[in-house]
Amino acid sequence: MHKPFFILLIAVLFPACQFIKPKSNKEDVVARVGDTYLMREDIVGIVPKGTEPNDSIALITQFVNSWIREQLLLQRAEMNLDKDMKNFEQQLEEYRKSLIIYTYQQRLIEQSLDTIVSDEQIFDYYNQNPADFELRENILKADYLVFRRNLKESQKVKNWFRSEQDDARKKLNDFCLSSSSAFSLGDTNWMRFDELLKIIPLPADNQELFLSSRKYVELEDSLWQYLVHIKEYKIKESLSPLAFEKNRIRSIILNIRKIKMLEKMEEDLFQDALQKNKFEIFIQ
């Protein structure tokens, strides 16, 4: 790095230290591309507080180099594009109007939308739209456990895992908390079969066949033992359980409310303006 630029960076990064005090506007210039200048004030705040000096200089250098590349590309584009191709006034105005309307609509939604969705409303929507809830993948409820192979208590753990006795389940839970690398016990939520496969290397090339023929699974590899208890499952293309779709239905209902509220607001605005003669149409 050239020494003058290094000194300028230090001055930008640590103004309180007063390494350099600008004597004129010229000394505030950090970089130039043609007739376009990057000023010292443009790069203040780029570096987070507490950053080490060397890291600070690297961040500023990266920013300046990026700015130079952008300006070079912009100036080349300005030179080589026809005037009509560089006129974005209409697009910018359309974007500005869309952004203003969108911002107003979002503010209206935040202030006025009823976000309470009852279980009854979710249940009704689910029953009235069954075609929307066909499963696209296999799901299941399962307990699983992963632990180091060759543990002395390995057989005990397997017995606890298959048992429904309270004492056995307590011992299993204590073991999981102290010695398991991954586990899930008693979870009543549905999970995607593919999610379980990321945790347990089940031999399930045919997932439907596997689910219909297996309840308990025990397997191991060079490091780990895996236990799985499949308690319930649903095959893809069947009706998805309500519990699995509850959050999605809530989002759907809220989105329907948003659309209806915005449509009503727009229609009310139009009708009010019509009654008060706030607009005219000159062609038919």
pLDDT tens sequence across 1-54 = 554 555 455 445 444 333 334 444 667 888 999 889 999 888 888 888 888 888
Judged against a pLDDT cut of 50, whether residue 278 lies above it is answered with: yes
Task: Give bridge partners of residue 147 from the DSSP assignment.
Answer: 180, 225
Give the integer Cα–Cα distance in Å for 88 and 86.
Answer: 6
- List every span in the chain annotated with CATH 3.10.50: 136-234
Q: Each residue of 244-255: pLDDT tens digit?
A: 999 999 999 999
Judged against a pLDDT cut of 50, whether residue 209 lies above it is answered with: yes
Mean pLDDT of the chain: 88
Q: Which residues contact 101 (CB under 8 A, 6 or more apart)?
A: none
Give me the pLDDT at residue 43, please. 85
Judged against a pLDDT cut of 70, whether residue 168 lies above it is answered with: yes
Residues 209-221, mean pLDDT to the nearest whole number: 94
Judged against a pLDDT cut of 80, whether residue 89 lies above it is answered with: yes
Give me the pLDDT at residue 49, please. 85
CA angle in degrees (0–180, nearest 5) for 276-278-280: 115
Is residue 209 within 8 A of residue 90, CB to CB? The reply is no
Q: Which helix (H) or strand (E) holds 250?
A: helix 242-275
**What percent of the chain stands above pLDDT 90?**
69
Q: Which residues contact 7 (CB under 8 A, 6 or more apart)?
A: 19, 20
Judged against a pLDDT cut of 50, whether residue 99 lies above it is answered with: yes
Give me the pLDDT at residue 9, please. 53
Question: Model pTM?
Answer: 0.68
Strands 191-192 and 216-220: unpaired
- 136-234: which CATH architecture? Roll (3.10)
Residues 259-280, mean pLDDT to the nearest whole number: 93
Judged against a pLDDT cut of 50, whether residue 194 lies above it is answered with: yes
Give me the pLDDT at residue 21, please. 41
Residue 191 to residues 40, 216, 232, Cα–Cα distance (Å): 54, 17, 10
